[in-house]
Amino acid sequence: MNSKLTAEICRQIDLSHNVNLRSIDFLHVGLSSAYPSTIQNQCIPILLSQITSRIERLRFNIYITRIDQLGDLDWDAISRVLARPQLSTLREVHCIVRYHPTKAKVEDVIKSKLPAFYARGILRLTVIHE
């Protein structure tokens, strides 16, 4: 799917009217063809940018088969959106990564992608070996 079409589809979902959101879970972020995604990865920053409520928790359930697939998410865009003053109530960013090889490597990559949240102590990591 081309990025213009993906962005347009994502914009059809409007979270701004959900003023009582406290938690959002991206349940199946597949970054490998072995794990088809239920959401287009390009949609995540777009959806997060629509949040107007005092969200406290955000969870990503990420499926990969190779460590380099973590680079397929736009971590910079996600970090920029989550750093907005409107999201200062965020207390936890939980990344659950389902992956077979080394846990430590996955944790290092996620920490390097979301350093501000790691520094604030709100980044929680769970690596599940499958």
Query: In this predicted model, what pLDDT tens digit does every residue of 94-115 receive, in sequence order?
Result: 999 888 666 668 888 899 999 9
| Residue 78 DSSP symbol | H
Total-model pTM: 0.78
Residue 130 and residue 122: Cα distance in Å, rounded? 25
| Residue 35 DSSP symbol | B
Residue 86 three-state SS = helix
pLDDT at 34: 62
Q: How far is CA 72 from CA 14, 51, 122, in A?
A: 24, 23, 23
Range of the domain at 45: 3-128
**Residue 3: is its pLDDT beyond 60?**
no
pLDDT digits (tens, 9 = 90+) for 79-97: 999 999 988 999 999 999 8
Q: How many domains does the chain have?
A: 1
pLDDT at 128: 84
The pLDDT of 46-74, averaged and rounded, is 88
Q: Which helix (H) or strand (E) holds 103?
A: helix 103-113
Is the Cα torsion angle 34, 58, 101, 109 positive or negative in sign? positive
Among 26-30, 94-98, 124-128, the range scoring the smallest mean pLDDT is: 26-30
The pLDDT of 17-44, averaged and rounded, is 77
**Bigger pLDDT: 71 vs 32:** 71
Residue 69 and residue 33: Cα distance in Å, rounded? 10
Strand-strand pairing, 23-30 and 57-63: parallel
The pLDDT of 63-74, averaged and rounded, is 84
Residue 4 and residue 60: Cα distance in Å, rounded? 23
pLDDT band at 78 (very low <50, low <70, confident <90, very high): very high
Q: What backbone phi and psi angles, to 5 degrees, belong to 31? A: -105, 15
Tokens 């207390």 -> residue: 91
